[in-house]
Amino acid sequence: MNIQENIIQGIQLAFQNIYNYDLPLDQISLAPTRKEFQGTYTFVVFPFLKVSQTTPEATANQIGEYLKGNLPVVADFNVVKGFLNLVLNERVWLDLFQQLYSNPNLGQLPANGQKVMVEYSSPNTNKPLHLGHLRNNFLGYSVAEILKANGYEVIKANLVNDRGIHICKSMVAYQHFGNGETPETSGLKGDHLAGKYYVLFDKEYKKQIDELKAAGKSEEEAKKAAPFILEAQEMLRKWEANDEAVVSLWKKMNAWVYAGFDATYRKMGVNFDKFYYESDTYLLGKDIVEEGLAKGVFFKKENGSVWVDLTDEGLDEKLVRRADGTSVYITQDLGTADLKYKDFQIDKSVYVVGNEQDYHFDVLFKIMRKLGRSYGDGLYHLSYGMVDLPTGKMKSREGTVVDADDLMQEMIETAEQHTKELGKIEGFTEEQAKELYEILGLGALKYFLLKVDPKKRMLFNPQESIEFQGYTGPFVQYSHARIAAILRKAEQIGVNYQSPDYDSVSELAESESALILILNEFERKIKMAADEYSPAIIAQYLFDLAKEYNRFYAEVPIFHEKDHAIQAFRLALSAQTAKTIKKGMSLLGINVPERM
């Protein structure tokens, strides 16, 4: 039994009794009452004037009278124009809270029997992760956790782009300039070491292009004729031919990169259940081309190339196999989609990939549906916006990227500095203090990247963006730490708040009922976050909750309250808030401290 549903049913009855009219439940909706008016829920009567055949005020009053007289939860009402504001009975709040407080599965909906794969991260093995990857990883991890909370069985997958011309570029540069350098001898993390050679390749390549241009070649010609690019192409051919020397260099360098990624993922706090490697999957999808031809979904052009016609869906024709019989990028994605299904029999598949690939996924999904895949309708591209810097777009070749490892480290150091300034680490051991800085620094960063709508591009200002006050991770964390301190004290002085005597709680402060109302919203927000694949909904919710708690904290005494029932109730309210914050933050991949 849910209050809103209860009221909506009451409104339906009101229409039957007053107007003899059968109003379907799905046409009745309640809005939260604006805070300048008295009440909790508001029913807007304008759409029903045809039914009531009278003025908005009269209609609202008639329905209000009926609800007040017939629904125990409605204590009172007031009417402003066509808005019927409903004031709820105090008892309702306490009953509602009692119910919430006794639920052992806070924030966890029952299993729904569905399996979903969330693919995220999907790095290239030629350079370290940067700010854009951080948004991707935090989003992917969080969406996976949100889906779990909604009762899905979730498989987190990482499709590693470990092959191709770009990987060969780092290898070529390493062959020329490496001198046997390793992560150990250089002191560089493996991914950073590979990245260094990727940059070196580009530098040398540009130099070669300039030289060729000086020798009279055009830009186009020079780009194609530069020795480095030819070497890289040759290396790719050798790799595909399984050339022993090339493959062994490839393995060696990739192993360095994986060790580096491992460390970065650990720091980020993300993980995966399944790794796919493009070196294993890049030849997949050829059978699907045949299948598509047989089913008439694909067609062959005169030169032998194979295409899909998506003009009836508002798109163009799209190549799926070259005239020479080789695959294109989308071919392997078709194959990989099937592979995921074969491996796990998933009902849904979420791809966390930037919005620059919107068109690609549009095409991919439409093809899979045309081919009649059972999971076709469960395919979803979580298309997130790019992260911009104040100086514009990040470009790895121009060295304007914000490195993931560096940024996380800076955040942790900033957290340390803030904490020390505030003098908040008395009684902490060295280790506890370090742990706190990490929780706070990463919390600030994750929260910052997750609080905005994933679909939208966002601005990241390294100097100003990361705050520790206001709408931030540390604000929510702080609220949790405050409550933890209160609960410790309750423990210390031996107050039991496990089962308050609700019947003895006579009246509630406004901030108390407001807090209960928002605590009660948690489950609905979890559902909404899953429906929209948006951790931002959780982040926003947690801020509102923490804000509401802090108001309660400032306005209502706990340990100075003499009435034991009320004191226990307020402690319970605090405990429930802490639990909700902790669970909610875990859905964002953020830890909360007990003290800060």
Partner RNA sequence: GGUCCGCUAGCUCAGCUGGAUAGAGCAACUGCCUUCUAAGCAGUAGGUCUUAGGUUCGAAUCCUAAGCGGAUCACCA
16-35 residues near RNA, rule: CB under 7 A: 29, 31-34
Nearer to RNA (CB atom), residue 134 or residue 484: 484
CB 588, CB 518: distance < 8 Å: no
In DSSP terms, which residues pair with 32 in a beta bridge? 41
The secondary structure element, H or E, covering residue 484 is helix 473-493
In the complex, the smallest distance separating the C-beta of residue 150 from RNA, rounded to whole angstroms, is 17
Residues 348 and 143: their CA atoms lie apart, in Å, by 13
In the complex, the smallest distance separating the C-beta of residue 562 from RNA, rounded to whole angstroms, is 12
Distances (CA, A) of 68 to 12, 31, 57, 197, 377: 14, 18, 16, 74, 46
Nearer to RNA (CB atom), residue 4 or residue 175: 4
Residue 590's SS3 state is coil
In the complex, the smallest distance separating the C-beta of residue 186 from RNA, rounded to whole angstroms, is 27
Residues 6+ apart with CB under 8 A from 514: 548, 551, 552
Interaction between residue 381 and RNA (CB under 7 A): no
Nearer to RNA (CB atom), residue 68 or residue 455: 455
Interaction between residue 445 and RNA (CB under 7 A): no
Residues in contact with RNA, counted by CB under 7 A, come to a total of 93
Residues 148 and 271: their CA atoms lie apart, in Å, by 14
- Considering only 455, 495, 502, 586, the residue that binds RNA (CB under 7 A) is 455
In the complex, the smallest distance separating the C-beta of residue 521 from RNA, rounded to whole angstroms, is 10
289 by Cβ neighbours in 10 Å (0-12 / 13-18 / 19+) ranks as: buried
- Considering only 316, 398, 491, 501, the residue that binds RNA (CB under 7 A) is 316
DSSP letters spanning 2-18: -HHHHHHHHHHHHHHHH
Segment lying near RNA (by CB under 7 A), choices 15-23, 102-110, 194-202, 414-422: 414-422
- Considering only 251, 266, 301, 434, the residue that binds RNA (CB under 7 A) is 301
Map residues 163-182 to x or -, x wherever contact with RNA holds by CB under 7 A.
-xxx----------------
Interaction between residue 80 and RNA (CB under 7 A): yes
For the CA atoms of 420, 422, 425, 427, the dihedral, rounded to the nearest 10 degrees, stands at: 130
295 CB-side CA count, 13 A = 16
Whole-angstrom Cα Rg for the chain: 30
Interaction between residue 491 and RNA (CB under 7 A): no
- Considering only 72, 323, 496, 499, the residue that binds RNA (CB under 7 A) is 323
- Considering only 22, 464, 503, 507, the residue that binds RNA (CB under 7 A) is 464
Nearer to RNA (CB atom), residue 154 or residue 222: 222
Interaction between residue 55 and RNA (CB under 7 A): no
Segment lying near RNA (by CB under 7 A), choices 75-83, 170-178, 220-228, 285-293: 75-83
- Considering only 486, 566, 585, 587, the residue that binds RNA (CB under 7 A) is 486
Interface of this chain with RNA, residues 194 to 253, rule: CB under 7 A: none
Tokens 């759409």 locate to 47
Interface of this chain with RNA, residues 84 to 103, rule: CB under 7 A: 85
Q: Which residues in 503-514 are b (16+ Cβ under 10 Å) and which e?
A: eebeebeebbbb
Residues 6+ apart with CB under 8 A from 330: 285, 318, 320, 360, 363, 364, 367
In the complex, the smallest distance separating the C-beta of residue 469 from RNA, rounded to whole angstroms, is 4
Q: Of the candidates 39, 40, 43, 14, which has an alpha carbon nearest to the alpha carbon of residue 30?
A: 43
Nearer to RNA (CB atom), residue 188 or residue 536: 536
In the complex, the smallest distance separating the C-beta of residue 115 from RNA, rounded to whole angstroms, is 27
CB 39, CB 85: distance < 8 Å: yes
Interface of this chain with RNA, residues 249 to 288, rule: CB under 7 A: 278, 282
556 CB-side CA count, 13 A = 24
Count other C-beta atoms under 10 Å from residue 201's C-beta: 25
Interaction between residue 432 and RNA (CB under 7 A): no
Interaction between residue 5 and RNA (CB under 7 A): no
Interface of this chain with RNA, residues 350 to 369, rule: CB under 7 A: 355-360
- Considering only 15, 66, 77, 83, the residue that binds RNA (CB under 7 A) is 83
Q: Of the candidates 335, 546, 314, 584, which has an alpha carbon nearest to the alpha carbon of residue 446?
A: 584
Interaction between residue 142 and RNA (CB under 7 A): no
Segment lying near RNA (by CB under 7 A), choices 177-185, 196-204, 413-421, 498-506: 413-421
Segment lying near RNA (by CB under 7 A), choices 68-76, 77-85, 192-200, 502-510: 77-85
- Considering only 297, 556, 573, 590, the residue that binds RNA (CB under 7 A) is 556
